[in-house]
Amino acid sequence: MAPPAGPHLRAYGYATDMIAAAPPDPFRFHGGRLVAAAGRFKSAPAPWIDLSTGISPWAYPVPEVTADIWGRLPEPEQIARLERAAAEAFGVTKPAEIVAVPGSDLAIRLLGTLFPNSQGALLTPIYSGHRAAWPDAVEISRDEADDHDLVILANPNNPDGRIVSPARLRALRGQIIVDEAFADTEPAVSLLPDRGDAIILRSFGKFYGLAGIRLGFVIADVPIVERLRHVLGDWPVSAIATTVGIAAYQDGNWQEHQRKRLGEAASRLDRLLEDSGLRIIGGTSLFRLAIHDKARELFEYLGRSGILVRPFSEEEQQLRFGLPANEAEWQRLTNALDSWRDMQ
């Protein structure tokens, strides 16, 4: 018999039979809610174009995966190879200071448990997962960061692309946790390899366009890394993730090509959004944050056109746009924005 659903469950939209239901507006908490979008915009044309995330539309070409990889748990030596490959790509000279995790989102939640007696401070705006991991944290501005013993931030930031210089971060007096999920697009903003005692989070799926693999890393002092290893157990990531991750992190030519085409696509998106009457206020080469006084109406119009973008609860005039994957998607987005503009 299922336990009763208390108020804390109902607040998140869970039914009394413990079957999870969608939050009241799932689009404003995370991107990528295509099932919810299809349910809401039932007459939208297919296929859907998902521009609601910061995931690259161009994925790293997955190497051939043999049948034995599907059928076996990853060997410890294979996970160690993955961590060494990632460490080399990030410039980390001590592989003992890096641990693979099944997605940086889980690492965010786990780190929130490692400092139970600390009052965290979130440099806002910030990815919603950090708020969930630090429910008692205070929200601060950049100018207030020196006043706190534990500061959590994203750099580059999601959703506005804000960058705090590595020199500024190194000058902060307290412990810092830096989410560098989008740093692969701009390696110069990373605290690595000279992180001091900062805790760094890195994501694989966004830059490499393979979010479904669920792979990320934490780079920290050895005691913290070992605590995370203990919590994660012997098989923190899949054999598929290790195989693909090793190949991708060793492929420098592909990485440079990816940065180039992401930058070009982001510039093209800027021109399209500005021509449609939106104002660009931030972003990275994986997404753009735009503002319009009718952003809510535009979100609805694009949804009816089978195009999902990301709205925000805190800022009703903001929308985040990811990158179209091909010319057909560019044309559909262009046509929808042109039609919407003509209606204003």
Q: Which helix (H) or strand (E) holds 280?
A: strand 279-284
Closest listed residue to residue 28, CA positions, set 337, 309, 307, 294: 309
Asked whether the predicted pLDDT for residue 257 surpasses 50, the reply is: yes
DSSP 177-236: EEE-TTGGG-GGG---S--TT-EEEEESHHHHT-GGG--EEEE--HHHHHHHHHHH-S-S
Which pLDDT score, from 0 to 100, does residue 344 have? 83
Asked whether the predicted pLDDT for residue 200 surpasses 70, the reply is: yes
Residues of the chain with pLDDT > 90, as a percent, come to 81
CATH value of 68-250 in 1.10.1520.10, 3.30.43.10, 3.40.640.10, 3.40.50.300: 3.40.640.10
Q: Do 23-54+254-343 and 68-250 have matching folds?
A: no
Q: Can you tell me the distance from the alpha carbon of 97 to that of 115, in angstroms, rounded to the nearest whole number?
A: 18
Closest listed residue to residue 207, CA positions, set 86, 48, 307, 320: 86
Q: What is the pLDDT of residues 46-101, one digit of tens each?
A: 999 999 999 999 999 998 888 888 888 999 999 999 999 999 999 999 999 999 99
Query: What count of other Cβ atoms lies within 10 Å of the Cβ of residue 234?
Result: 9
Closest listed residue to residue 219, CA positions, set 211, 228, 210: 228
Q: What is the pLDDT of residues 158-168, one digit of tens each?
A: 999 999 999 99
Asked whether the predicted pLDDT for residue 38 surpasses 50, the reply is: yes
Q: How confident is the model at residue 24 (pLDDT cuts 50, 70, 90)?
A: low
**CB proximity list for 116: less than 8 A, separation 6 or greater:** none
Q: What is the pLDDT of residues 291-314, one digit of tens each?
A: 999 999 999 999 999 999 999 987
Burial (0-12, 13-18, 19+ Cβ within 10 Å), 133: buried
Which pLDDT score, from 0 to 100, does residue 14 have? 29
Asked whether the predicted pLDDT for residue 5 surpasses 60, the reply is: no
Fold of 23-54+254-343: Aspartate Aminotransferase, domain 1 (3.90.1150)
How far is residue 37 CA from its own chain's centroid? 20
More confident: 313 or 133: 133
How far is residue 276 CA from its own chain's centroid? 27
Q: Could you tell me if 106 and 133 are in contact, meaning their C-beta atoms sit under 8 angstroms apart?
A: no
Q: Can you tell me the distance from the alpha carbon of 31 to that of 45, in angstroms, rounded to the nearest whole number?
A: 19
Q: Could you tell me if 74 and 237 are in contact, meaning their C-beta atoms sit under 8 angstroms apart?
A: yes
Q: How confident is the model at residue 114 (pLDDT cuts 50, 70, 90)?
A: confident
Q: What is the pLDDT of residues 245-256, one digit of tens each?
A: 999 999 999 999
The C-alpha angle 71, 76, 77, rounded to 5 degrees, equals: 105
Q: How confident is the model at residue 22 (pLDDT cuts 50, 70, 90)?
A: very low
Q: What is the largest CA-CA distance in the chain?
A: 60
Which pLDDT score, from 0 to 100, does residue 29 have? 65
Q: Could you tell me if 198 and 229 are in contact, meaning their C-beta atoms sit under 8 angstroms apart?
A: no
Q: How confident is the model at residue 33 (pLDDT cuts 50, 70, 90)?
A: confident
Closest listed residue to residue 190, CA positions, set 226, 209, 217: 217
Q: For strand 138-140 and strand 175-179, is the pairing parallel, antiparallel, or unpaired?
A: unpaired
CA torsion, ordered 178, 179, 182, 186, to nearest 10 deg: 10
Region for 13 from its dihedrals, namely left if φ exceeds 0, alpha if ψ lies in -120 to 50, beta otherwise: left
Q: How confident is the model at residue 31 (pLDDT cuts 50, 70, 90)?
A: confident
Written as six digits, the tokens of 292 are 């319009």
DSSP 298-326: HHHHHHHTTEE-EE-SS-TTEEEE---SS
The b/e string for 322-343 (b: 16+ C-beta within 10 A; e otherwise) is bbbbeeebbebbeebbeebeee
Residues of the chain with pLDDT > 70, as a percent, come to 92
In the chain, where the domains are located: 23-54+254-343, 68-250
Q: For strand 216-219 and strand 199-203, is the pairing parallel, antiparallel, or unpaired?
A: antiparallel
The average confidence (pLDDT) of the chain is 90
